[in-house]
Structure 1
Amino acid sequence: MVSYSIQASLDPATRTVSGRESIVYRNDTRSTMSDLKLHLYPNAFSNTASTYMHGIAWDDRLTQGRLERMRDEGSWGSMKVLSVKGADGADLTGGAAIDETVMTVPLPSPVRPGESARIEVAWETRLPRTFHRMGYWGQHYDVMQWFPKPAVFTDAGWKVYPFYRYSEFFADFGTFDVALTVPRGYLVEATGVPDAARDNPDGTRTVTYRAADVHDFAWIADPNALVAREVVAEGPYSAAPVEVLYVHQPYRRGMAPRILEAARQGLLYYGQRFMPYPYPRLVIDDLPMGLGGGMEYPMLFTVSMAWFVPRLDTAPEEVTLHEFGHQYWYGIMATNEFEEPWLDEGINSYVTRRAMDRVFGAGRRGRTVNALFAYGAARVLADGVQANLGCATLDLAQLLGFHDTPFRPVEGGLLGYPVSPFDLNLPGLTDGRFLYGKQAYADSARDDPITTPSWGFHPGSYSAMVYDKTDVALETLGRLLGGDLLEQALRAYVRRYRFTHPTAQDFFSVVQETAAQAHPGLDLRPAIEQIFRGSGTLDYAVASLRSREVIEPQGYLPPARAGEAPLDRTALPAPDHRAARYETELIVRRLGEVALPVEVLVRFESGEERRETWDGRSTWKRYTYEASSKPEAAIIDPERIYAIDLDVNNNSLTLERREAPLLRLGLIWLFWIQNYLHLAASLS
């Protein structure tokens, strides 16, 4: 438990925040504490050689461009610690050692379990030009990771880490009493609940915010910003309403209804399924000109979008729901994002996708031109079989989808799809969000386990593993459990571990408890070990399906006893096809490293079905049948339980080649090619 009392002021002329803080850190462990370790996050933006800057991918041109601009302008960020004092006023500054983004302060005397340490720190934070999570743009200030903040002390010592490019945060819960002073005329919003503003004689204004049961504090200041407000007082919030504030630039006025509605839906979705949002306020900071990206802090989060977003594009709703979700998985649960980033980002991605599908629809009908854009942009510009159109490259292979074909047959309409002069219900849009995430994971499928710490991922695979693979893995876990059992497990996890620091093992234990109650005997450990803690892939396939008519043996058959003559079967009558029997051979294969039990279905022309359960341990297995009819098709994992299966196109095979679907897909190819050729011609 940490108690903060902070006084800070913003000087726009120098783009600095000057502050003093009193920190009381209570030792709630069973170990004695001899020092305090504090994060100095702004130093990550102080030079090109910082651990953070070294983590920027070489091919991340956008970020490298921003870094180059910082270098040219000299708009670096930094934190200068001016003094550190003990509770008795003793000067501890000389003994405080700084290693880039971590400061170690030796304490005058050991702090035993149950006791508290108190220090006072004076510092200055220089804000960089907006860079990922903090900074300024014009007169807009996002003051985040801005004060010296203690790391987490445990029985095993301090959990403290450098500020890596892909790491986020880990801190103890506490209380904040923060007085913020800005030039009069600046709008201020922050974590917590504000007191009445106080105007000062020097032309500044001070607002004090108080917050409890939070583990960070962020604030924004802007003389031009507007605020749209809505109070959510329905459903779980009828007795404890939540005020939602959308802070935005004047040109964003039109976006306010969409963002506020998305926040309202998020409050209701989470409040009804997991637990009500426990704070009285929620601030949404819309970063100017799409800078900085979405980022979460207690009671406040940022969103970032292009300056123009068409109505059909649900990106504003999705980023709002996603960042709001962090109020739970990052804020209320407070997992260790350095060591286990997937517990926040991955679970949040899974719940966000389901929330978007539930609240805003899995796939919505819209204007034909918008639907074509939404579908084509996602499917066309990727690697594969390509056609050069001069000004653009058309990827023909992706029109069939990646690993999971998007085309679904429906009755009526053009080429089997509902269509009119005004709208087009494009195939595959209903699976769009899931398939996009699955494609992103597939590109880096074998790079790392989900449970890799934030600093240990193969370059370029952090997002694919932490966000996308976790989403697909949780979807698989949910299908293994069936129904809404995973949602029940998530609810139990939230309610049991809220305002603590749960680990991956805590999460898996709750999931296994939920499974045991609903399905006694279901053992999820093999799936958890291989899918979450392993880097192998899951890919089952129907390798071959063959059938032939059963005929009586012909020739000379060996006798049953010695001394007897062979049985003469050289002149049997012609077979009677009306009473024919057929033998069928099915071979299934495991192409990936993950070996889990899977169902196999064989469907015969007579309507008969045969179901098998294959343990998947060997790389292949043969099944043989004798039946009154030929097989129609064989399917492995017919219920699509394994959402993480990399290639579901090889999960089924028909005995006879069927050309009608190929004709349909060929016509759709021609349709797309024609449209993109028209587009290319109009742009040339």
Structure 2
Amino acid sequence: MKRICALLMIAGLPLLGFTQTNNYWQQELHYNIQVALNEKQHSLKGGLSVEYINHSPDTLKFIWFHLWPNAYKNKNTAMGKQMAILKANEKQGNPLEKKKEVEHEPGYIDGLKFEVNKQTAATENDTANIDMIKVLLPQPLLPGKQVTVTTPFNVKLPDYYSRSGYSGQQFFVCQWYPKPAVYDTKGWHPIPYLDQGEFFSEYGSFKVDITVPAEYVIGATGSLQNKDELAKYKQIGIENNKDTKLVLYKTSTPGKTKTLQYTGERMLDFAWFAAKDFVVRYDTLQLTPDNTIDVFSYGQPNGNKTWKNSTSYIKDAVRHYSKWIGQYPYPVVQAVEGPKNQSSGGMEYPTITLITSPNAKEEEMDGVITHEVGHNWFMGILGTNERQYAWMDEGINTYYQFRYEAEKYRSNSILSSYIPKDIKELSEDEFQARIYEVLNSIPAEQPINTPSAAFTSNEDYGIVEYVKTAVWMYTLEAALGRDTLDKGMQAYFKDWQFKHPQPEDLKKELETTSGKNLDKLFDLLNKEGKLF
């Protein structure tokens, strides 16, 4: 997003309870996964058991599964083809200068042998995408009934790119296990993995046992159940938060392995990160007298110097989003600093996020951590279809990130290098008015409602789904008043947490709260070009 800033100048600009019906249903999953890391072969060996509960009114004859590690197998996958298009359409540098193409080590998943209730299940491969498979049920799954699907699996991790893989002896394990697709009133949603375009996942519980060499530190979705290991992380983390000499993790059993268990409820996904040299930091956040959560961060030993403030930034983000939208519901919140040779901002998973901003200054690091932690609300708790409606995830979250930056720093991550001193001295309201005047002037041809896979440029995707949506949310704030908008979003959060809201559900919540017809404002989601 930094590329667009050179085009902008800011000086001298003028100031400017919906109740669900009983017809709603969603499926329910309960995962039990065992996985072991082979650090030398950069591979995983695992076993999956997932209990699938059919809350739909339909009888199911099959279940679609995502096999997303196969997206890394070759250049002919949906991700490979998309990345080639995005690379060709990059809008930076000299178009006549040919850059050396990076060759990545392939990744894939194999060793699958699906069983349903201990009966061998046949499968059908998707004809277009090797990262999706249909598991045929030996007997039809009736409404209200459940089945247990099991399979062994092996994963070869690629070198780290597009959210997952290994870098040296560090492992960033995302999109790694066979995962049922969402089934809802619109049918199945089997989607291939894409680099640009995120996910649509079903809620459930996780119990995951991770076996690694004893020297490794792990950060993962959910809560660590090994009390001795948890106590060690906390002890080391408290020392490292004192900003004195860093304390690294050591084990009394080098050369051995250990198995750590993580559990979580009402979650959409599970990711984990492992390294021998992660710098653990730890703090606590008391949201209410009865709710104290653990705050962890895992940093690079020679990473960004601003990472020393990471737990402080995480805590402040959770405080603000809890106040603005609704209280953070999980017992832990975490962030992982990615490898220094990567710079992609971040990628979020429930209770944990990966941050790859090696050159970010303090305000920028705070902003990107806040954005990624904020996805616990807009994706993690409000489980929208990100592939279809990226704005309900990225854009609404960006609006709150901009509020956070304006309140705390009189800054904005898109325009940070171009904000004069006199603008930063304005009140928060006046500052935001100036900022959004500029953001609305950025060319954004596609409508906000454009599906993420329809964009052929990273810049266009970012400008439309992040920035243009933030402008739209600010327009709602101006039309309704901030207090009313906040009450509407809080009602939306309360009624739709751990569910799959659609755009019309957000609209009804805001109309019920405000007492206004919002047809015209929501019609702007389909408007080409600038909103105004």
TM-score, normalised relative to structure 1:
0.64
| Cα gap change, 1:425 to 1:466, in 2 (>3 Å) | closer
1:254-280 deviation digits (Å, cap 9, x = unpaired): 434422111111121122222221111
**1:204 matches 2:204:** no
2:312 matched to which residue of 1?
Answer: 261
Alignment of 1:4-43 (within 5 A): 4-43=31-70
Contact conserved, 1:449 with 1:533, CA < 8 A, in 2?
A: yes
User: Structure 1 CA distance, aligned partners of 2:221 and 2:414?
Assistant: 39
Amino acid at match of 1:457: F
**Cα distance change of structure 1 residues 326 and 66 upon mapping to structure 2, 3 Å threshold:** farther
Could you give the per-residue CA deviations for residues 334-358 of structure 1, whole angstroms, max 9, x where no partner exists?
1111111110101000011102222
| Corresponding position of 2:331 | 280
> Are residue 352 (structure 1) and residue 401 (structure 2) matched?
yes
Equivalence for 1:143: 173
Change (3 A) 1:527 1:122: same
State the SS of the aligned residue for 1:294: strand
* Deviation for aligned residue 1:11: 0.6
One-letter identity of the residue aligned with 2:134: T
- After TM superposition, the structure 1 = structure 2 runs for residues 488-503 of structure 1, keeping only pairs within 5 Å, are 488-503=487-502
Match of 1:52 in 2: 79
Q: Does 1:527 align with 2:521?
A: yes
Change in Cα spacing, 1:430 to 1:475, as seen in structure 2 (3 Å) is: closer
Conserved 8 A contact 1:8-1:179: yes
Count of equivalent residues: 473
In the TM superposition, residue 483 of structure 1 has moved relative to its aligned partner by: 3.9
Residues 78-128 of structure 1: CA distance to partner in whole angstroms, max 9, x if unpaired? Answer: 12243112212x322565667321111111011011111221111111111
Does structure 1 residue 326 correspond to structure 2 residue 359? no
Cα distance in 2 for partners of 1:425, 1:451 equals: 33
Alignment partners' CA distance in 1, 2:432 and 2:168:
35
Provide the C-alpha distance between the structure 2 equivalents of 1:66 and 1:47, rounded to a whole number of angstroms: 20
Contact 1:85/1:120, CA 8 A, preserved across alignment: yes
- The one-letter amino acid of 1:249's match is Q
Residues 623-655 of structure 1: CA deviation (Å, up to 9, x unaligned): xxxxxxxxxxxxxxxxxxxxxx3xxxxxxxxxx
Aligned-residue offset at 1:527: 2.3
Q: Which amino acid letter does the alignment assign opposite residue 527 of structure 1?
A: L
Post-superposition offset of 1:458: 5.2
Residues 586-639 of structure 1 show CA distances to partners (whole Å, capped at 9, x for unaligned) of xxxxxxxxxxxxxxxxxxxxxxxxxxxxxxxxxxxxxxxxxxxxxxxxxxxxxx
Give yes or no for the alignment of 1:121 onto 2:141.
no
Are the structure 2 counterparts of residues 201 and 247 from structure 1 closer, same or farther at C-alpha, using a change threshold of 3 Å? Answer: closer
CA distance in 2, matches of 1:125, 1:347: 34
**1:329–1:343: 8 Å Cα contact kept in structure 2?**
yes
Q: Are 1:92 and 2:145 an aligned pair?
A: no
CA separation of 1:84 and 1:439: change in aligned 2, threshold 3 A: farther
Q: Tell me how far apart the structure 1 counterparts of residues 176 and 345 of structure 2 sit (CA, whole Å).
A: 17
Counterpart contact for 1:330–1:344, Cα < 8 Å: yes
Q: Helix, strand or coil for the counterpart of 2:160?
A: coil
For the residues of structure 1 that align with 2:159 and 2:32, how far apart are their CA atoms?
27
The answer to whether the 8 A contact 1:128-1:136 is kept is: yes
Whether the 8 Å CA contact 1:42–1:125 is kept in 2: the answer is: yes
Contact kept? 1:237, 1:276, Cα under 8 Å: no
Structure 2: distance between partners of 1:94 and 1:110: 15
Q: Deviations over 1:150-208 (max 9, x none)?
A: 11112342122222332211111111110000011011121111122699997111001
Letter of the aligned partner of 1:138 in structure 2? G
Pairing partner for 1:296 from 331, 348, 361: 348
Residues 213-612 of structure 1: pairs in structure 2 closer than 5 A: 213-233=266-286, 236-252=287-303, 254-289=305-340, 291=342, 293-307=345-359, 309-310=360-361, 313-358=362-407, 360-363=408-411, 378-379=417-418, 442-445=441-444, 447-457=445-455, 459=457, 460-516=459-515, 522-529=516-523, 531-538=524-531
Partner of 1:668: none
C-alpha distance in structure 2 between counterparts of 1:157 and 1:129, whole Å: 35
CA contact (8 A) 2:181 2:190 kept: yes
Tell me how far apart the structure 2 counterparts of residues 127 and 65 of structure 1 sit (CA, whole Å): 29
For structure 1, list consecutive stretches of 5 or more residues without a partner in the other structure: 365-373, 380-405, 408-416, 419-423, 517-521, 539-644, 646-684
Contact 2:165 2:172 survives alignment (8 Å): yes
Pairwise CA distance, 1:452: 1.6
How far residue 215 of structure 1 moved from its aligned partner, in angstroms, is: 1.1
Residue identity matched to 2:346: G
Secondary structure of residue in 1 paired with 2:488:
helix
Maintained 8 Å contact 1:44/1:52: yes
Gaps of at least 5 residues in structure 2 are 1-27, 230-251
* Contact 1:9/1:19, CA 8 A, preserved across alignment: yes
- CA gap 1:438/1:100 in 2 versus in 1, 3 angstroms: farther
Residue 238 of structure 2: aligned partner: none
For 2:488, give the aligned amino acid.
A
Bigger RCO (CA 8 Å, 6+ sep): 2
Q: Distance in 2 between matches of 1:241 and 1:282?
A: 11
1:535 deviates by: 1.7
Q: State the 1:217 CA deviation.
A: 0.5
Structure showing greater Rg: 1
What SS class does the counterpart of residue 282 from structure 1 fall into? strand
Matched residue SS, 1:121: strand
Does the residue aligned with 1:250 lie in a helix, a strand or coil?
A: coil
Contact 2:339/2:356 (8 A) holds in 1: yes
In 2, the alpha carbon distance for the partners of 1:478 and 1:433 equals 11
Q: Compared with structure 1, are the counterparts of its residues 439 and 456 closer, same or farther at alpha carbon in structure 2 (3 Å cutoff)?
A: farther
| 1:129-150 CA-partner distances (Å, limit 9, x unpaired) | 1112111111111101110111
Deviation for aligned residue 1:43: 1.5
- The C-alpha deviation readout for 1:414-463, integer Å capped at 9, x for no partner, is xxx87xxxxx9789999888877775664442x32111222123534211
Kindly provide the amino acid, as one letter, of the partner of residue 331 in structure 1. G
AA at the equivalent of 2:117: A
The alignment-based identity, stated in percent, is 27
8 Å contact from structure 1 (residues 50, 100) kept in 2: yes
Question: What CA distance in whole angstroms lies between the structure 2 residues aligned with 1:293 and 1:44?
Answer: 21
The residue identity in structure 1 corresponding to 2:310 is I
Aligned to 2:160: 130
Cα distance in 1 for residues equivalent to 2:324 and 2:175: 31
Structure 2 counterpart SS, 1:70: coil
Q: SS where residue 328 of structure 1 aligns?
A: helix
